[in-house]
């Protein structure tokens, strides 16, 4: 049975539709990231699951029991979910210990003390139990917020952009720690983020949302290698975009044809190629242009990879500007001619949507 289920949830603020007939479930111990651009409705969905936003349409179930819908709308404190917000929302006048103890009213004093110590140890904050939030760094506050949410041992954790208040380096460290703490806790987690890399780092499954709708839900590899549309393909990083037309079930590209599955003959299509899908090697002597060859416009070292700007002939007098990303250091000279090999697992064909 799923730990959290949203069934046909719709929500509007006046004219603005923030959730549109949305179905989503999170399995026990699973971490699902709700990913999408700003304003697409992610926070609204999380708040509905938490009980912070009154449900307008659909149902919310925790562990198979309806907590909202069918005439029921349990308040957040009756749902036994752990909440972590972007701004941590710690109580400033309470010590770390008392912040974490806050939701443990049903335990005896001793059980409460033990639970607080164990949870603070879990997030590496045992030495700060007597401190007050204003004396803590951003990363430490985030750990306390996580401990406070985990202390009642909820079956479901709901996290809203929990790392966005932290600077880049700290964010990477804290999200790594948080992933392992959440996994050890055994809770099912729904986490909101607008950062695709963060979603792929954290999630067992990612739910991609746009304009109140779920576009695709799947494991990071599914979304990356089998995106359902150009929006999903483009959301996970820079892509090269080429125009084409379906002919004999294929689309021509300067690097050979691509199969156009389930697309009507003659329709205009968009070809998306990830920069890492263009493999480069020095070309044999020969005249430009010829199919499969590209001229280097510029090369840039980006750290873990190199980015090569290419000019590629596409038809008699048309040049395309494409990016190739090569792992490590690969910095060919300007104007060098390279042979391009296309990795077809990194290229996608979609129909051009009518505007
Ligand atoms: P962000 O990443 O920017 O926080 P989001 O994907 O979490 O965005 P929501 O905060 O759920 O999106 O907002 C969805 C839409 O609903 C937006 O257009 C937003 O302006 C609108 N909205 C959210 N809360 C309210 C509210 N209380 N009243 C009116 N409109 C709202």
By the 8 A CB rule, do 331 and 338 touch?
no
Contacts 24+ apart (CB under 8 A), 12-20: 12/56, 17/41, 17/211, 17/212, 18/44, 18/45, 18/212, 19/44, 19/45, 19/48, 19/212, 20/211, 20/212, 20/213
By the 8 A CB rule, do 50 and 56 touch?
no
Domain 4-233: which topology?
A: Rossmann fold (3.40.50)
> Considering the entire predicted model, what is its pTM?
0.91
Q: Is 43 in the pocket of ligand 1 (CB under 6 A)?
A: yes
Residue nearest to atom 1 of ligand 1 (CA): 38
By the 8 A CB rule, do 162 and 198 touch?
no
Q: Is 280 in the pocket of ligand 1 (CB under 6 A)?
A: no
Q: Is 205 in the pocket of ligand 1 (CB under 6 A)?
A: no
Q: Where are the domains of the chain?
A: 4-233, 238-351
Q: Which atom of ligand 1 is nearest to the CA of 47?
A: 11
Render each residue's pLDDT in the chain as its tens digit; 355 residues: 999 999 999 999 999 999 999 999 999 999 999 999 999 999 999 999 999 999 999 999 999 999 999 999 999 989 989 999 888 789 999 999 999 999 898 889 999 999 999 999 988 999 999 999 999 998 899 999 999 999 999 999 999 999 988 888 888 989 999 999 999 999 999 999 999 999 999 999 999 999 999 999 999 999 999 999 999 999 988 899 999 999 999 999 999 999 998 899 999 999 999 999 999 998 876 655 567 889 999 999 999 999 999 999 877 778 899 999 999 999 999 999 999 999 999 999 999 976 5
Of 38, 41, 47, the residue with max ligand 1 atoms within 8 A of its CB, to mutate for a pocket test, comes to 41
CA distance 5 to 62: 6
CA distance 310 to 270: 19
By the 8 A CB rule, do 282 and 338 touch?
yes
**Span from the CA of 43 to the centroid of ligand 1 (angstroms):** 7
CA distance 215 to 233: 11
Strands (E), 285-346: 293-301, 305-313, 319-327, 337-342
Q: Is 203 in the pocket of ligand 1 (CB under 6 A)?
A: no
Q: Is 37 in the pocket of ligand 1 (CB under 6 A)?
A: no
Q: Is 16 in the pocket of ligand 1 (CB under 6 A)?
A: yes
235's tokens: 């959301």
> CB-based contacts of 351: which residues, under 8 Å, 6+ apart?
263, 267, 268, 269, 270
129's tokens: 């139990």
Q: Is 149 in the pocket of ligand 1 (CB under 6 A)?
A: no
Residue nearest to atom 23 of ligand 1 (CA): 44
**Span from the CA of 45 to the centroid of ligand 1 (angstroms):** 10
pLDDT tens figures, 196-235: 999 999 999 999 999 999 999 999 999 999 999 999 999 9
Domain 238-351: which topology?
A: OB fold (Dihydrolipoamide Acetyltransferase, E2P) (2.40.50)
> CB-based contacts of 284: which residues, under 8 Å, 6+ apart?
339
**Span from the CA of 161 to the centroid of ligand 1 (angstroms):** 14
pLDDT above 90 as % of the chain: 84
**Span from the CA of 11 to the centroid of ligand 1 (angstroms):** 11
Pairing type for strands 258-259 and 305-313 reads unpaired
Task: Please check whether the two domains, 4-233 and 238-351, share a CATH topology.
Answer: no
Q: Which atom of ligand 1 is nearest to the CA of 192?
A: 7
pLDDT tens figures, 167-183: 888 889 899 999 999 99
**Span from the CA of 218 to the centroid of ligand 1 (angstroms):** 24
């Amino acid at each position: 049975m799923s730990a959290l289920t949203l069934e046909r949830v719709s929500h509007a603020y006046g004219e603005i539709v923030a959730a549109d007939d949305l179905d989503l479930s999170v399995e026990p111990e699973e971490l699902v990231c709700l990913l999408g651009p700003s304003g697409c409705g992610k926070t609204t969905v999380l708040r509905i699951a938490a009980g912070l936003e009154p449900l307008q349409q659909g149902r919310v179930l925790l562990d198979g029991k309806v907590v909202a819908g069918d005439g029921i709308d349990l308040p957040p404190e009756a749902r036994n979910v752990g909440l972590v917000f972007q701004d941590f929302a710690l109580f400033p006048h309470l010590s770390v210990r008392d912040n974490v103890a806050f939701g443990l009213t049903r335990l005896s004093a001793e059980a409460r003390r033990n639970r607080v110590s164990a949870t603070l140890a879990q997030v590496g904050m045992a030495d700060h139990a007597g401190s007050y939030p204003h004396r803590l760094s951003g990363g430490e506050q985030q750990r306390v917020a996580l401990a406070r949410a985990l202390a009642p041992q909820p079956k479901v954790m709901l996290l809203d952009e929990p790392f966005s208040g932290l600077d880049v380096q700290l964010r990477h460290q804290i999200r790594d720690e948080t992933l392992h703490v959440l996994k050890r806790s055994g809770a099912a987690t729904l986490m909101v983020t607008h950062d695709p890399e963060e979603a792929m780092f954290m999630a067992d499954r990612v739910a991609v949302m746009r304009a109140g709708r779920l576009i695709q839900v799947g494991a990071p590899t599914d979304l990356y290698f089998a995106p359902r549309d150009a929006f999903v393909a483009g959301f996970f990083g820079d892509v090269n975009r080429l125009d084409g037309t379906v002919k004999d079930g294929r689309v021509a590209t300067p690097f050979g044809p691509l199969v156009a599955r389930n697309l009507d003959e003659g329709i205009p299509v968009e070809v998306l190629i990830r920069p890492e899908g263009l493999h480069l090697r020095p070309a044999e002597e020969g005249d430009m242009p010829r199919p499969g060859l590209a001229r280097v416009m510029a090369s840039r070292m980006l750290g873990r990879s190199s980015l090569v700007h290419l000019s590629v002939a596409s038809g008699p007098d048309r040049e395309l500007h494409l990016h190739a990303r090569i792992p490590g250091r690969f910095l060919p000279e300007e104007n060098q001619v390279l042979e391009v090999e296309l990795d077809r697992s990194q290229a996608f064909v979609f129909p051009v949507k009518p505007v």
